[in-house]
Amino acid sequence: MQSLGHFFSGRYKALIVEGSGNGYLGTACDYVHLNPVRAKLLGPNERLLAYPWSSLVWYLAAPAHRPGWVRVDRLLGEHGIVADTVAGRQEFECQMERRRREEADERQWKPLKRGWFLGSEEFRAKLLERMEGQLGEYHSGQLRYESAAAKAERIIAEELKRAKWKEADWEAHPKTDSRKLVVAARLRRETTLTVREIAQRLHMGSWKSLNNKLYMAGKASGNRPKNEKATK
């Protein structure tokens, strides 16, 4: 018999969650605790607590009856519950049962199902900066693309500062501007952006025209540019 699923067939999905107290941790934990509902492992009249393989059991247990490594204060706090008391745990269960009735709207879980992180844009930017140059073959294509795009934007910001330009100047200056070509060559050399993407980002006309300029510039300097045949 062939076994299927992430455990047998590939790497599990790990989501990086911002723990800033802005609700992201609570959203991620609620998603996990409501998994039995989405999988239809509970009857409509059964409590969430009836599913024995969920960590929700430990969140609703008294401290004396839960493992020492289970920490509940962060999640209770995300739900506005200030104390790990009988009343606090009962309120937490009531909130989870209310969330259970909202499960019909799957859109709320889209960032968890399809994304690689859950948090603010500032959190995302910091993660991408830390990951630069460290992604491997097992990281998702979306993550690698976003990392490359973040690096490109950092380079563009550096070049804007160097030229004393503003963002609008990319479009205001001619597509043949020599300073644009310098930036385009750097992006092509240091990132995985295609010539087409670079041409669009720097307002340099058609990718074929830019490709020719990069080729001639590289030839003149003795540095042959990347082959663009397969990555327009």
Tens digits of residue pLDDT in 67-86: 988 889 989 998 999 999 99
Joined tokens for residue 9: 């067939």
Q: What is the mean pLDDT of residues 94-122?
A: 73
176, 178, 180, 182: CA torsion to nearest 10: 140
Q: Residue 230 has what pLDDT?
A: 42
Candidate from 32-36, 108-112, 126-130, 139-143 with smallest mean pLDDT: 139-143
Using pLDDT thresholds of 50, 70 and 90, give the confidence band for residue 7.
Answer: very low
Average pLDDT value over all residues in the chain? 79
Residue ranges of E strands in the chain = 16-17, 117-118
Is the pLDDT at 117 greater than 70, yes or no?
Answer: no
The DSSP secondary-structure symbol of 82 reads -
- Using 50, 70 and 90 to split pLDDT, how confident is the model at 125? confident
Overall average pLDDT of the 208-227 stretch: 75
Q: Is 138 exposed, middle or buried (0-12, 13-18, 19+ CB in 10 A)?
A: exposed
- Domain limits of the chain? 15-118, 121-221
Do the strands 16-17 and 117-118 form a parallel or antiparallel pair, or are they unpaired?
parallel
Contact 83, 110 (CB under 8 A): no
Tokens in use for 13?
């999905």
Nearest residue to 206 via CA among 223, 194, 217: 194
- The pLDDT of residue 33 is 92
pLDDT of 149 strictly over 80: no
CA distance 207 to 198: 8
**What integer pLDDT is reported at residue 8 of this predicted model?**
46
Which of residues 139 and 165 earns the better pLDDT score?
Answer: 165
**Separation CA 154–CA 55 (nearest Å):** 41
Q: Rounded to two decimals, what is the model's pTM?
A: 0.54
Longest C-alpha distance within the chain, in Å?
76
60-69, 71-80, 142-151, 179-188: which range is least confident on average? 142-151
- Residue 80 burial (10 A CB sphere; 0-12, 13-18, 19+): exposed
Mean pLDDT of 4-27: 65
Asked if the model's pLDDT at residue 27 lies above 60, the reply is yes
End-to-end CA distance of the chain: 45
Mean pLDDT over 106-129 rounds to 69
Is pLDDT above 50 for 229? Answer: no
Percent of the chain with pLDDT over 70: 72
Structure tokens at 150: 């973040």
Q: Which of 151-160, 167-176, 187-196, 217-226 has the highest mean pLDDT?
A: 167-176
Predicted pLDDT at 122: 77
Higher confidence at residue 221 or residue 94? Answer: 94
